[in-house]
Chain A
């Protein structure tokens, strides 16, 4: 479904992704783990078009993403929940959700999608008229995910959904990620919380300073000596 082949990305003079290759297949949960600055968020930003690869191949369902404008990548079926949630804090919960469906014209479908999101996150329905800047961190994460689902994506990119959340909320968010995946959405998950990420993913890639150093089945990776030492605290 999504294929990256030898992708190089630069921030000015900084070489952020050094020839990265990985793929995500239909229906999977794939996770990218690694420490701060390894290039996890950069990978997601490159897929959603906020950053552009200098060289390499980047395709989604066989289509080259590197030449498509970022606002049109959403229409191809990729939705990105950015790091730090980035909800529109000056707008209400429902306005945020409506913006998630910005490219959709089918009014009935949008209503349906809002219902679906409220089903996944009942808290959002309780707070639908609230200004989203006044939500708690966990609620903002739910809103960011709900907003991304409004475009009915085939592939959902999640950047650090557990960041800054209490352990109980992290569990809740991860079980919802599984639920979203079970209903047919493919997921590419970036996490520093490697333990949680490996527990729900089918496959995983480990990034270190812009390169993929390990990859494989997430259960095997979770059991491997290297990963345990570096990312799971022994």
Chain B
């Protein structure tokens, strides 16, 4: 293979790895938005907490990758439920802007509260994967890249299965479509909303651990940019719809790595937000979004 197509394939692999992280974070945004119509701006910071919990599990508790991932996902699931109960639930019937501002408050609380707890110093993620590389037709596959993609795909498949085929998943879809009608079915909507926050936050935690592994360093403000990017991914795919953020995240990752590959890596973030602007102008409901119509 000549070097240009090798380059392209290499960028695709990089893009998919990065994109799968965006997709995992974006899923949480979209699920929470789907169920209580709130853009949870603290979501990226939950990811940061997830990265730190994973770091703690690996360096202090000396756990291997999978148990550390689980540890981090469970801690963040609890954190997500706690945030919802304390900060958002009292505002369930308030105006949407009040909840949105609260979300920004929670975000700042986690960022700067986090600094007090873990200090603002950048920490190095321990190498959890062997540094093995596989070469296929001139394209490098890092062991870590493969595990990352696999983790993301498995988690998304699990989520899809849960939402489509389990009882709690059907209840989630019912609550997100019509809360009062769901109550009339006997669904405890508060529990379903908590459950949604738990799942969304656990996925963010997984993304945080992968992010730490991918970039090697973590800090208390690491959630801001990926959080915003994941928001772009969610909007791109169609916010509120489960498959949307998966595709949106992967696409965003690909675009970013292609832009970097072309030598314009300083334009990476600009391109991401340009996509957001274009989507909002051309198709605000996103790639998979339908315009909601009401039948009377």
- In the assembled complex, which residues on chain A have CB atoms less than 8 Å from the CB atom of B174? 88, 91, 99
B interface: dominant SS? helix
| A82–B180 touching, CB < 8 Å | yes
| A70 proximal to B (CB < 8 A) | yes
Q: Within residues 169 to 188 of chain B, which ones have a CB less than 8 A from any CB in chain A?
A: 170-171, 173-174, 177-178, 180-188
Interface segment out of the listed A54-62, A72-80, A196-204: A72-80
| B186–A71 touching, CB < 8 Å | yes
Given A75-B186, A99-B185, A102-B185, the answer on whether A89 and B177 have CB atoms closer than 8 Å is: yes
- In the assembled complex, which residues on chain B have CB atoms less than 8 Å from the CB atom of A100? 185
| B173–A88 touching, CB < 8 Å | yes
- In the assembled complex, which residues on chain A have CB atoms less than 8 Å from the CB atom of B188? 69, 71
- In the assembled complex, which residues on chain B have CB atoms less than 8 Å from the CB atom of A230? none
| B116 proximal to A (CB < 8 A) | no
The total of Cβ contacts below 8 Å across the A-B interface reads 68
- In the assembled complex, which residues on chain B have CB atoms less than 8 Å from the CB atom of A86? 178, 180-181, 184
- In the assembled complex, which residues on chain A have CB atoms less than 8 Å from the CB atom of B186? 71-72, 74-75, 102-103, 151
| A98–B183 touching, CB < 8 Å | no
| A90 proximal to B (CB < 8 A) | yes
- In the assembled complex, which residues on chain A have CB atoms less than 8 Å from the CB atom of B178? 86, 88
Which of the residues B171, B180, B296 comes within 8 Å of A99, measured between beta carbons?
B171
- In the assembled complex, which residues on chain B have CB atoms less than 8 Å from the CB atom of A90? 173, 177
- In the assembled complex, which residues on chain A have CB atoms less than 8 Å from the CB atom of B182? 99
Max chain B CB contacts within 10 Å: which of A69, A88, A98? A88
| B170–A91 touching, CB < 8 Å | yes
Q: How far is the CB of B171 from chain A (nearest CB, A)?
A: 7
The answer for the CA separation of A222 and B221 in the assembled complex, in Å, is: 72
The answer for the CA separation of A42 and B183 in the assembled complex, in Å, is: 16
The answer for the CA separation of A86 and B295 in the assembled complex, in Å, is: 9
Q: Within residues 33 to 52 of chain A, which ones have a CB less than 8 A from any CB in chain B?
A: 48-50
Q: How far is the CB of B239 from chain A (nearest CB, A)?
A: 15
Q: How far is the CB of A162 from chain B (nearest CB, A)?
A: 14
A86-106 to B contact mask, C-beta < 8 Å, 1/0: 111111000100111011000
Q: How far is the CB of B113 from chain A (nearest CB, A)?
A: 34
| A19 proximal to B (CB < 8 A) | no
| A122 proximal to B (CB < 8 A) | no
| A80–B184 touching, CB < 8 Å | yes
The answer for the CA separation of A67 and B177 in the assembled complex, in Å, is: 26
| B217 proximal to A (CB < 8 A) | no
A130-153 to B contact mask, C-beta < 8 Å, 1/0: 000100010010000001100100
| A164 proximal to B (CB < 8 A) | yes
The answer for the CA separation of A90 and B184 in the assembled complex, in Å, is: 17
Closest to B167 in A: A102
| A48–B184 touching, CB < 8 Å | yes
| A84 proximal to B (CB < 8 A) | yes
The answer for the CA separation of A84 and B177 in the assembled complex, in Å, is: 14
- In the assembled complex, which residues on chain A have CB atoms less than 8 Å from the CB atom of B187? 71, 99, 102
Q: How far is the CB of A108 from chain B (nearest CB, A)?
A: 17
Q: Within residues 98 to 122 of chain A, which ones have a CB less than 8 A from any CB in chain B?
A: 98-100, 102-103
Q: How far is the CB of A13 from chain B (nearest CB, A)?
A: 16
| A91–B296 touching, CB < 8 Å | no
Closest to A75 in B: B186
- In the assembled complex, which residues on chain B have CB atoms less than 8 Å from the CB atom of A95? 170
Closest to A164 in B: B296
B152-174 to A contact mask, C-beta < 8 Å, 1/0: 00000000000000010011011
The answer for the CA separation of A103 and B189 in the assembled complex, in Å, is: 13
**15 contacting pairs across A/B (C-beta < 8 A):** A50-B184, A71-B188, A74-B184, A79-B184, A82-B180, A82-B181, A87-B181, A89-B295, A99-B187, A100-B185, A102-B186, A133-B295, A147-B185, A148-B184, A151-B185
Known A98-B167, A99-B174; further 7 A-B contacts with Cβ < 8 A: A95-B170, A100-B185, A102-B171, A102-B185, A148-B184, A151-B185, A164-B296
Identify the 9 closest CB pairs spanning chains A and B, nearest first: A74-B186, A86-B181, A103-B186, A70-B183, A102-B185, A71-B188, A99-B185, A71-B186, A80-B184
